[in-house]
Amino acid sequence: MTLRVVGAGLGRTGTHSLKLALEQLLGGPCYHMIEVLQHPDHIEVWQRAIDGDPPRWDEFFADYAAAVDWPVAAFWAELSGAFPGAIVLLSVRDTDGWWQSAKQTIFDVSRRTPPSDPMFRDQLQMVNTMFERRFTPEWADEAAAKAAYEQHNDTVRASVEPGRRVEWRAGDGWRPLCNALDLAEPDEPFPHVNTTSDFRAMAGLDEPD
């Protein structure tokens, strides 16, 4: 198996929904931050990549048909080079909506006191280091994060030829993906999961510290 989709869209742009949709379309697993939680040994792999020592991407993703969300999106350029036959999927949403969602979910988690569990502590350290080095050191600041988000998207648009780049918003559904992958559109509705309230409930963000 080889990656057919490299997700360049940052987290909170419908990436969990895309994971489910791509798994249905491609008949194989789609890498997502969820995979890091399910494979604790991946935390060290990503940390080394952030430190400048990436794995052999073809071996790391050997069991996956697609990859989206952070930390993949932080390495979209390297991965698009490692998998030249893959489309580059840029999932986007309006900047204000992205910030509000990210602030209340992934950034809220990252601002909290490191957990006592070693695995979650290591994952949080990896994610925060990734934000600082591959997004913006000021990821918790609204203006800086919004500017970094827009710069990221503009860089993808400027770097990937239109024939390979697919820009997708949550309301677009199946069609852009199926057209790019030359696949028939499923009859069932496009999956929509992991709303802000879903994430906060899952992460216990509304519970007292």
Tens of pLDDT along 115-142?
Answer: 778 888 999 999 999 999 999 999 999 9
| Residue 209's pLDDT band (cuts 50, 70, 90) | very low
Q: What strands, in cross-sheet order, belong to the sheet with 66-67?
A: 30-31, 66-67, 5-7, 87-91, 165-168
Pick the closest to residue 60 from 73, 77, 72 (CA basis): 72
Residue 61 lies in a domain: yes
pLDDT digits (tens, 9 = 90+) for 68-96: 999 999 999 999 999 999 999 999 999 99
CATH of the domain at 32: 3.40.50.300
Residue 110 lies in a domain: yes
Residue 208 lies in a domain: no
Pick the closest to residue 8 from 121, 138, 135 (CA basis): 135
Residue 14 lies in a domain: yes
Residue 69 lies in a domain: yes
CA pair distance 181, 129, nearest whole angstrom: 34
Residue 87 lies in a domain: yes
Quote the domain boundaries for residue 96: 5-203
Question: Comparing 196 with 54, which gets the higher pLDDT?
Answer: 54
Pick the closest to residue 191 from 109, 77, 85, 68 (CA basis): 68
Please give the tally of structural domains in the chain. Answer: 1
Residue 209 lies in a domain: no
pLDDT digits (tens, 9 = 90+) for 33-53: 999 989 999 999 999 999 999
Token pair belonging to 111: 């601002």
- Return the ∠ at Cα 159 (arms to 58 and 176), rounded to 5°: 75
| Residue 192's pLDDT band (cuts 50, 70, 90) | confident
